[in-house]
Structure 1
Amino acid sequence: MAGSLLRVLSPADPDLVLLFASHAENLAELSRKLARKLPEDCSIVGCSSAGEIGPMGYCAGTVTALAFPKGSFRSAVCVLRDQEHIPVSEWMQVLRNFRMDFNVDDRRSVFGVLLADGMARHEDVLVATLEATMPGMPVIGGSAADGLRFGRTCQVVNGVEHPGSAIVLLVETDFTAHEVSFSHFSATSKRAVVTAADPQNRTILELNAEPAAEEYARLAGIRADNLHPPEFARHPLVLRTGRRNHIRAIRGVTPEGGLELMSSIEAGTILRLGRVEDMTQGFADTLSALPRPPVMVLGFDCILRRLAIERAGMREEMSEIFARFRVAGFNTYGEQHNGMHVNQTFVGMALMQPETA
């Protein structure tokens, strides 16, 4: 594996290499093997996934590697430790120093990348902290995953594992960077009030004063004994904030009949049932609307979005779009964009040749 990757990565003389793998047991060892052959000052950063997006689109059980050549990119890495216990004051000081030390060149594009621990369940606070300490900085990201097992995730920097941490990258480039976001849902008129919740564990205990799973099944028209990820992917819960819809994706059903979410939730929240709209052409239209064809799109795509696409028989169609627009990245437990932690959404950073190139 390392040898085949090096044959492709080495000629790029990379400043940064990103690695995404759904089977992450050997991710740290792989990054150490790459480090022995790549330039000493090259950062090798990776995380576990729920599937990858490679040159031919959706793939699984693979390693997706992205090289960012020194000739056009400069990067820095920051590890925010102890994500589970959210030491916000410490994070804020670390992030302020991190951005100051990076010394951004205003003549170039700059953006942030966040690889969070998807099992720590505190991405909402983490993203808000980034927004507060780096105002105006476009930051995209994905929550590291563990397939559909929802077990242990893995984050690696230069061969060292950082369990329970979030990795923040700053990337400066000669290319023009443009944020991309796409969700294929709209909100229906079916509403539900969260009448009881466990915010710490992102669990809805009651909807409309009824056991949450039973009431959700009734609203979605699903048998209560048929609640599983593909159905959750087709019938998400939607939170309306201002003029925007934000998906509150369902991860599973608790033994007590609650709904475990992949984003934060509080009692008193009003949710609507989501309705699937166009999953592929709308996405292609979003990428076609970019100012210029992208050289690459660094993408983070929710695993539940992928499940919905595969269930609809559209995997090949979506993979063709990914390949056409040079999208590379991984399937996540949640996405970070525009200061929000969201679900069942594709977020990305399109890199395009400068207009004057």
Structure 2
Amino acid sequence: MSTLAGSNSQTRVVVRSAVSHQSDASLAVGELVAALGQEADLYAVFVAPGFDLAAVAAATRAAFGDRVIGCTSAGNIGANGYDLTGIGAIALTGGALSARTIALGPLDDPCAVVEENGAAIAELRAGIGDADGFAVLLTDGLRGNEDVLTASLMAALGDVPIIGASAGDDLTFRRTAVYYNGQFSENLATVTVVRTDAPFRLMRVQHHEATGTVLVATDVDPDRRIVRAINGRPAARAYAEAVGLPVGELTPTVFSRYPLLLNAGGTSWIRSIAEVEAHDFLRMFARVDVGDVLRLGRPQAMLEKLGACLEGVAAELGSIGGMLVFDCILRRLEFESEGLTGQVGALLAAHHATGFSSYGEQFNGMHMNQTLVAVAFA
């Protein structure tokens, strides 16, 4: 799925990217500055585990001022494909690009925080006017409420398309943080609305297809992302039967290979399983509501689907000059288990992708898992 925008073929956004593996925050940001300069219209910075976040934040603000967004990551994506360490960054310049960022938080009640910031969100929307633009949402990946936050934000922004991601911490699930105003903060999200005259395209790709196996969520705790019963039976037992395994053999590898798919708006959205809890409940990585009709998913043409989507975007734009990419950590784990990490990483690098491995993705008003979302520039 994609959205093409930007109609002036004479203007382009110049995209530059860089990575540093220096362990010292000041030296690392210094390398980014040397590669990217300090004159870009918008920077995005993604920090893999192992850094002093306060030091990274201070150096980042000193280098790039208030023209930077970012978050912690579960690994980065850049010129070398998947990169498990370091600080990755992307710089966007030209194409009459302008960007404004606001913070949303705390995130304990996403509906309320979006409503409280309604005036500021309306100003962001007004800044685009009748021109082309999009929004970038970066949010704490451990709050467990991105579903409500994304839907509320989409309602507030109206027709402005959204791509977004949940910050990560390399699967330790201890602390994820979003950069804003010179510091990395938990329980926070940022919304950046970007306006540009240059051609760009939003894209979303997944490689799981729905099978004919229907699993109806009949007892759930949606706010905690717990599915207690499927088809009127203990959820883990019903799922295990669907994949042909005993409950005791359900592992993260099984969950990543056979996620659940929800159909909405004429397309499917992945709802990944995190683990089996007590009483054979399933804890999910995305919200499931009572009565949701889910279908068992299965992988299909992992590399081919990504390649076809990227080639399609490149054909429409003429070529891809750079991409801001958010790619689910579960996808990388699945590629690792299939021995495809190098090939997928090389494919992303060949299309000038820069971004990070995330704990969930957002596209317009939906939160999902095991998906890649991106904005590509001509």
- TM-score normalized with structure 2 length: 0.86
Moved over 4 A (4+): 105-108
Aligned to 1:170: 193
Matched, 1:328 2:354: yes
Amino acid of the structure 2 residue aligned with 1:4: E
Question: Any gaps of 5 or more consecutive residues in structure 1?
Answer: 353-357
Percent identity between the two aligned chains = 33
Q: C-alpha separation between the residues in 1 aligned to 2:290 and 2:73?
A: 31
Question: Any gaps of 5 or more consecutive residues in structure 2?
Answer: 1-27
Q: Residues 1-357 of structure 1 correspond to what in structure 2 (within 5 A)? A: 1-10=28-37, 13-23=39-49, 25-38=51-64, 40=65, 42-69=66-93, 72-86=96-110, 88-100=111-123, 103-104=126-127, 109-290=132-313, 291-292=316-317, 293-352=319-378
After superposition, the CA RMSD in angstroms is 2.0
Shift of 1:32: 1.1
Q: C-alpha separation between the residues in 1 aligned to 2:219 and 2:186?
A: 31
Instruction: Please give the secondary structure, in 2, of the residue aligned with 1:119.
Output: coil
Contact 2:125 2:157 in 1 (8 A): no
Q: C-alpha separation between the residues in 1 aligned to 2:95 and 2:59?
A: 23
> In 2 relative to 1, CA 171–242 (structure 1 residues): closer, same or farther, beyond 3 Å?
closer
Q: C-alpha separation between the residues in 1 aligned to 2:266 and 2:128?
A: 34
Deviation sequence 1:91-142 (CA, Å, 0-9, x none): 2352443442675355753210000122111111111111111111011001
Shift of 1:286: 0.9
Shift of 1:62: 2.0
> In 2 relative to 1, CA 222–84 (structure 1 residues): closer, same or farther, beyond 3 Å?
farther
Q: C-alpha separation between the residues in 1 aligned to 2:83 and 2:97?
A: 27
> In 2 relative to 1, CA 37–186 (structure 1 residues): closer, same or farther, beyond 3 Å?
closer
Q: C-alpha separation between the residues in 2 aligned to 1:140 and 1:49?
A: 16
> In 2 relative to 1, CA 67–24 (structure 1 residues): closer, same or farther, beyond 3 Å?
farther
Q: Which moved more, 1:296-305 or 1:43-52?
A: 43-52
Q: C-alpha separation between the residues in 1 aligned to 2:219 and 2:299?
A: 27
Contact 2:137 2:162 in 1 (8 A): yes
Q: C-alpha separation between the residues in 1 aligned to 2:124 and 2:149?
A: 21
Amino acid of the structure 1 residue aligned with 2:340: M
> In 2 relative to 1, CA 149–101 (structure 1 residues): closer, same or farther, beyond 3 Å?
closer
Contact 2:125 2:160 in 1 (8 A): no
Amino acid of the structure 2 residue aligned with 1:158: N
| Count of residues in correspondence between the two structures | 348
Amino acid of the structure 1 residue aligned with 2:79: P
Amino acid of the structure 1 residue aligned with 2:232: A
Instruction: Please give the secondary structure, in 1, of the residue aligned with 2:301.
Output: coil
Instruction: Please give the secondary structure, in 2, of the residue aligned with 1:147.
Output: coil
